[in-house]
Amino acid sequence: MDIHKIKQRFEIIGNSPALHRAIEIAVQVAPTDLSVLINGESGTGKERFPQIIHQHSSRKHGPFIAVNCGAIPEGTIDSELFGHEKGAFTGAHESRKGYFEEANGGTIFLDEIGELPLSTQVRLLRVLESGEFIRVGSSKVQKTDIRLVAATNVDILKAVQDGRFREDLFYRLNTVPIIVAPLRNRREDIFLLFRKFAMDFAEKYMMPVIRLDESAQILLENYKWPGNIRQLKNITEQISIIEQDRMVSAERLKAYLPDDTRTSLPVLMPKDREDRTFSSEREILYQVLFDMKRDVNDLKKLVNEMRGSSDLVPMTEPEATNPINRFFQQDHSRFDTPVTSTPAHHGKHLDEEEIEDTEEIIEESLLLQDNEIDLINKALKKHSGKRKLAAQELGISERTLYRKINEYGIKE
């Protein structure tokens, strides 16, 4: 195996051991018909490896079709992959072959496979296991002979655990995994790639080649490159066009590099933001209690009108210690909705606007926890269990909603 020739043929730049290992695996698995799953961050050049596999296989004279699953709307993905019959849906004026039918005898590359809907994953699993598929709007089973190579930049195992990706499909695809290392783990390749891009752009724009002094080269190699090769290429093009001085210093280079202090660790919510979130939850609950008080007052008004009297019975001891009455005796002037609390008058005539609560309400129903559970259940029911939409309805973060569901043991 001549890795140098393979890199030259497929325009792959770099000498890192991780890169060479990925190429070796691709060449070794190529003669078989095993499915291959390529893992790597966005911008690492994963699209080169399906081509290596196809060109070193017995299918190299057959078709090679690359499909970006993330770029196809969910409503049309089945039609794109498996084809459809005339009249299968609105706009289907004629029958159409899908990619799996077109790729018969060759290789199909599904990029961003983690974006496939679950219903499409079921169809894909059937193709991999039996080579059979059915066009949309048809009942006729068709056969295809394809070799599947897939790629993803998401954590598929995490997607399996979250129920977003079928476990059986994952193991069927992951027969031979290929890991494409991020650029930050291939530091010896960064300057080589920069020089290649600089020469390409100098030729394209007919200008002298951009160069880096020693300090700029050190900065380039120690930058984290979150966008990997794609980001490096874009920045090289910017420098090639904009810089008048063709020898670039570290100071000039810094102007083109976004802040690299970002981390791949889970992001902690800032305390002030967390406080704002909890404050928002409290205000929602307070608003519910305000509405309850207004409704009780309206009911009292109606009852007294029906009795033909507005004289109220003094507040009893159980009522005085009731949580709702204690709550409204507190100062809530910091909230948008004003609350006016008037002391109970013994034996005095009150205006209708000054009516106080005198009905004893069951204490359990007034607990904040019960109201939270009720609100969460209503929001989840309204949005058919979709937590993100339910969180938006409640005005809280999705993370907080998850915590509340687990804390209260809410069944969805």
Contact (CB, 8 A) for 233 and 222: no
Q: Are 237 and 279 contained in the same domain?
A: no
Per-residue pLDDT of 55-103, as tens digits, reads 999 999 999 999 999 999 988 999 999 999 988 888 888 999 999 999 9
In a domain? residue 294? yes
In a domain? residue 260? no
Q: Which of 181, 214, 240 is the last residue of a domain?
A: 181
Q: Are 29 and 134 contained in the same domain?
A: yes
Q: How big is the CA angle at 180 (ends 73 and 183), to the nearest 5 degrees?
A: 105
Q: Are 278 and 355 contained in the same domain?
A: yes
For 165, the 3-state DSSP assignment is coil
Q: What is the pLDDT of residue 312?
A: 46
Per-residue pLDDT of 293-352, as tens digits, reads 777 777 777 777 676 644 444 444 444 445 555 554 554 444 444 444 444 444 444 444
In a domain? residue 262? no
302: number of Cβ within 10 Å:
10
Residue by residue, DSSP assigns 328-364 as HTS--TTSSS--------SS----GGGPPP-S---GG
Q: Are 391 and 301 contained in the same domain?
A: yes
Of 61, 134, 53, the residue nearest 101 (C-alpha): 134
Q: Are 172 and 249 contained in the same domain?
A: no
In a domain? residue 316? yes
Q: Are 14 and 128 contained in the same domain?
A: yes
Q: What is the pTM of this model?
A: 0.62
Res 394 pLDDT > 60 = yes
In a domain? residue 241? yes
- C-alpha distances (whole Å) from 386 to each of 114, 130, 275, 324, 398 are 20, 34, 25, 32, 10
Per-residue pLDDT of 144-192, as tens digits, reads 999 999 999 999 999 999 999 999 999 999 999 999 999 999 999 999 9
CA dist., res. 257 & res. 87, Å (int): 52
Q: What is the pLDDT of residue 345?
A: 44
**What's the number of domains the chain is made of?**
3
Q: What is the pLDDT of residue 320?
A: 47
Q: Are 132 and 30 contained in the same domain?
A: yes
For 178, the 3-state DSSP assignment is strand
Q: Are 209 and 331 contained in the same domain?
A: no
Q: Which of 164, 181, 198 is the last residue of a domain?
A: 181
Q: Are 143 and 206 contained in the same domain?
A: no
Question: CATH number for the domain including 8?
Answer: 3.40.50.300
Q: Are 10 and 124 contained in the same domain?
A: yes
Burial of 113-146, coded b for 16+ CB within 10 Å and e otherwise, reads bbbbeeebbebbbebeeeeebbbbebeeebebeb
Q: Which domain holds residue 319?
A: 271-408
Contact (CB, 8 A) for 290 and 339: yes
DSSP 117: -
